[in-house]
Structures are given as C-alpha cells and as structure tokens.
C-alpha cells in the first residue's frame, strides 16, 4: 500500500482508504477512480491524502464519461432589429452627418496647410455612426440619399462610411471591427485633396495621363493615414479600395487572396455610391442599374458572394429612394422589408397624376390589404419636386 496526496491521485488508481481530510467523508467501497471528475469531487469534499494499492492501477483508465458542461447559447444578431423608430433616430443621425461634413472640411484644410490630421475625432464619429446604425440603420441610410451636386468629395466618403457600417452589421462583424471599417471609409478618399483641381473636378473621361495622376489618390490616402498614426484595417480600406480581384486595380495591382474581405467590401460600397451619386456633370444612377454594373464586374473585379449580401442588406429599393406607385402616388422609401425586398415601406407626399403635393401617408407595400404596387424609381426632376422641402417637413425633426 502507498499513501499519496490528493494532488497525486490520477484516473486508474485503486483507492483503499482516506487517510487525511478536512471533512467527514467516508469511502463506502474500495475501488478505482476512473475519471478526473471523480477526483475533483474528492478534492471539493476536503480529502487531503488517500491510501492506494499501486498493484491494482489500471494501465488504460476509462475515459471521462461525464457530460460536458452546457455551452452558453449565443444568439445570432438580428441585422434588421430596430431599437428606435426612424423618427426618433433621424435627429441624432442628421447631427452626426453634419458633424462628419465639418470634420472632413477641417481635415482637408489641415492637409493643405501641411499639418497632420487628428484621427481621434474620426474614430469618435465612427463610433457614433455605428451606434446609430444599431439603433435604426434607416435614419443614416436615408441621409445618404440627400445629396448636393457640388459636395461629392465630402458626401461620398461619409456615405461610404455609413453603408460600410450597415453592411458590416448585416454580416455580423464585431463592433470593434465595424469602427475600424467606418473610420477607414470616412478617410478613404482623403488623398484626393492632393490631386490637382483640374483633374479632380474634370467632367467626363480622363486622358491616360490624367488617370495616372488620379490613381495616386489611394496611395496618398494610405500615406496620410499612416503619417497620422493610423494602422491596420482602416489604412487598408484607404489604400486598397481600388484593388480588383483580377489584379487590374491600383495602386499595388493586388489580386485574389491578397485582397481581404474588408477591402472587398469597401470596393463594392465605394463603386455603388459613386455610381448612384448626383454630380454637377452627371445624374445619379438608379440603384438597380448600379447593382447590374457591379454584377457584371463579378468575379473579375468584385466578390460575387459579398455583392449578393450587400444587395440583400441595402435592398433593391434602398431607403431614401424616390419611387412611384401604381396609384401614381410618389414617395420616399423609408424602411426596407427584408422578407419582401420588392415591397418596402413608402411615405407618399405627391401625386404624379394631378401634379401636386398631397397629404403624407405611410404605405407598407408588404401589407396584403394594400392594393398599391411599386412601379419604378423616379427623380425629383421628373415632376419638379422640391425634395429638400419634403426632407425638412417630413423626415427631419
């Protein structure tokens, strides 16, 4: 026989008796300790020493058959969950959007003056965007449609940041990563401030030389953020958002697996917003046409699987889109219906039939009792609609 401490006891040993303990446990039957769970119970009971019979030790102790502890259930995040109504969130969202414009203008001024930009306010703003998106993404999504033709450089980066946040939320990406993605998107075109105005603001196609100059903006963006102390995902978004899967992008001609999921997301969102943007020299493209162009770029330029998920998350008729219904009512898409993407919620305010403003009405096209159907997307110029007036009266508190 041999006396050992409880810490030396191992599965397969034959216990003869308890020789030292702090409690009063009694071993009714001599026998083998077959599992680690049994040893743990003896320790918890206050056993300090036991007497074993070394000659009876099992050379291959039985496996621990104790049922594993139940794992905590992780509930999948609902990407469509809305904590606030659009009306409740719109004021906060508008404040964030205006703050973003001011911040962008200050950053452009700092770069022109030869100063490093302060990254901290951009990170704080990115957190604000993320929080708003998690409360109700429709508010910020709607603001991305309220474009000014002469403010593309400012609004494009803000819109890409918002859409990246919505996209990342839809994919279930962690909040910390979403902040990095939205920060990088906010600053992804900051390098354009170093492009000569005659190239940057040129309407129409670039010459080969002009295009080479324009391509440098991604490299400038990367350098500006690195000099400001930013690293990681945000810098990748800024420097690589024009890379393409077939290696024909710029500035580094990366391809395939060299391009991360986050950069692939950014390239999709960047092109989508650029195509749908209103500019002084061109009208914005309808979302469905922009989606088709992106689809045509798969798989050579864009990740087809990610593009499908982006379309699912933004919707065929994105929030903020102006549409005409079968009743000839004109309204704004204010909420997506994920189960029926072709039937969003529309706030009508104008009659195309009578050419006048009407009493505002919220119509859920997914409601079976609603006879109205969505016919097409339209533009304010189609009916001489003062959309800014509508935004102020119906959308912004």
Residue 325's pLDDT is 97
Residue 204's pLDDT is 84
Q: Please tell me what DSSP assigns to residue 61.
A: P
Contacts of 108 (CB under 8 A, 6+ apart): 190, 193
Show the DSSP H helices in the chain as ranges: 36-44, 86-112, 120-143, 152-170, 175-186, 197-200, 208-227, 233-240, 261-276, 287-296, 304-314, 380-383, 387-390
Calpha distance 196→75 (Å, rounded): 51
pLDDT in tens, 368-386: 899 999 999 998 889 988 8
E strand or H helix at 347, and its extent?
Answer: strand 345-351
- Chain-centre distance of CA 92, in angstroms? 19
Contacts of 259 (CB under 8 A, 6+ apart): 240, 243, 244, 245, 267
Q: Please tell me what DSSP assigns to residue 3.
A: E
Residue 247's pLDDT is 97
Calpha distance 221→377 (Å, rounded): 35
Query: Is residue 6 within 8 Å of 42, Cβ to Cβ?
Result: yes
Residue 67's pLDDT is 43
Residue 65's pLDDT is 47
In order of 125, 189, 233, the CA distances from 192 in angstroms are: 21, 6, 20
Residue 24's pLDDT is 57
Closest of 240, 206, 203 to residue 221, by C-alpha: 240
Query: Is residue 96 within 8 Å of 144, Cβ to Cβ?
Result: no
Query: Is residue 180 within 8 Å of 231, Cβ to Cβ?
Result: no
Strands 47-52 and 2-5: antiparallel
- Which residues face 294 on adjacent strands? none
Calpha distance 290→274 (Å, rounded): 9
Q: Consecutive 10-residue runs of the chain (397 residues): their mean pLDDT?
A: 84 83 63 80 78 76 46 56 85 95 94 92 96 94 84 92 97 95 97 94 90 96 94 96 98 96 98 90 89 97 97 92 95 88 92 93 93 92 82 65
In order of 103, 132, 214, the CA distances from 126 in angstroms are: 12, 10, 27
Contacts of 316 (CB under 8 A, 6+ apart): 287, 288, 291, 341, 342
Burial class from Cβ neighbours inside 10 Å (0-12, 13-18, 19+) for residue 110 reads: middle
- The DSSP code sequence of 270-329 is HHHHHHH--BTTBPPPPHHHHHHHHHHTTTTTS-HHHHHHHHHHH-SS-TT-EEEETTSE
Burial class from Cβ neighbours inside 10 Å (0-12, 13-18, 19+) for residue 1 reads: exposed
Q: Which residue's structure tokens are 């958002």? A: 241
pLDDT in tens, 186-241: 999 999 999 999 999 888 889 999 999 999 999 999 999 999 999 899 999 999 99
- Chain-centre distance of CA 8, in angstroms? 52
Tokens of 253: 């001609």
Residue 43's pLDDT is 76
pLDDT in tens, 250-267: 999 999 999 999 999 999
């Amino acid at each position: 026989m041999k006396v050992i401490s409880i810490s030396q006891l191992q599965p397969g040993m034959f216990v003869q008796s308890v020789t030292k303990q702090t409690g009063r446990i009694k071993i009714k039957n001599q026998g083998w300790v077959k599992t680690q769970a049994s040893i743990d119970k003896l320790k918890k009971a206050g056993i300090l020493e036991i007497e074993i019979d070394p000659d009876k030790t099992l050379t291959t102790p039985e496996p621990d058959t104790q049922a594993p502890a139940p794992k905590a259930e992780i509930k999948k995040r609902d990407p469509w969950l809305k904590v606030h109504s659009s009306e409740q969130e719109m004021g906060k969202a508008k404040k964030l959007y205006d703050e973003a414009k001011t911040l962008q203008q200050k950053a452009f001024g700092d770069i022109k003056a030869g100063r490093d930009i302060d990254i901290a306010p951009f990170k704080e703003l990115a957190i604000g965007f993320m929080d708003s998106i998690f409360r109700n993404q429709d508010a910020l999504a709607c603001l991305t449609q309220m474009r000014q033709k002469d403010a593309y450089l400012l609004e494009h980066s803000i819109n890409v940041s918002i859409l990246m946040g919505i996209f990342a939320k839809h994919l279930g990406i962690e909040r910390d990563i979403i902040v990095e993605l939205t920060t990088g998107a906010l600053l992804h075109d900051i390098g354009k401030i170093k492009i000569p105005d005659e190239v940057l603001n040129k309407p129409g196609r670039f010459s080969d030389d002009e295009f080479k100059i324009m391509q440098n903006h991604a490299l400038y963006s990367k350098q500006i953020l690195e000099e400001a102390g930013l690293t990681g995902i945000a810098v990748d978004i800024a420097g690589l958002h024009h890379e393409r899967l077939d290696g024909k992008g710029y500035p580094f001609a990366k391809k395939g697996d060299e391009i991360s999921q986050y950069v692939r997301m950014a390239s999709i969102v960047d092109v989508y917003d650029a195509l749908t943007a209103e500019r002084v020299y061109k009208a914005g493209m309808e979302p469905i046409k922009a989606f088709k162009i992106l689809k045509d770029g798969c798989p050579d330029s864009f990740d087809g699987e990610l593009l499908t998920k982006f379309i699912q998350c933004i919707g065929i008729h994105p929030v903020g889109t102006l549409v005409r219904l079968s009743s000839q009512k004109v309204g704004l898409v204010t909420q997506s219906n994920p189960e029926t993407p072709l039937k969003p919620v529309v706030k009508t305010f104008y009659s195309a039939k009578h050419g006048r403003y009407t009493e505002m009405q919220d119509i859920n096209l997914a409601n079976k009792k609603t006879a109205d159907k969505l016919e097409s997307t339209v533009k304010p110029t189609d009916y001489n609609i003062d959309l800014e007036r509508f935004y102020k009266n119906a959308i912004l508190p």
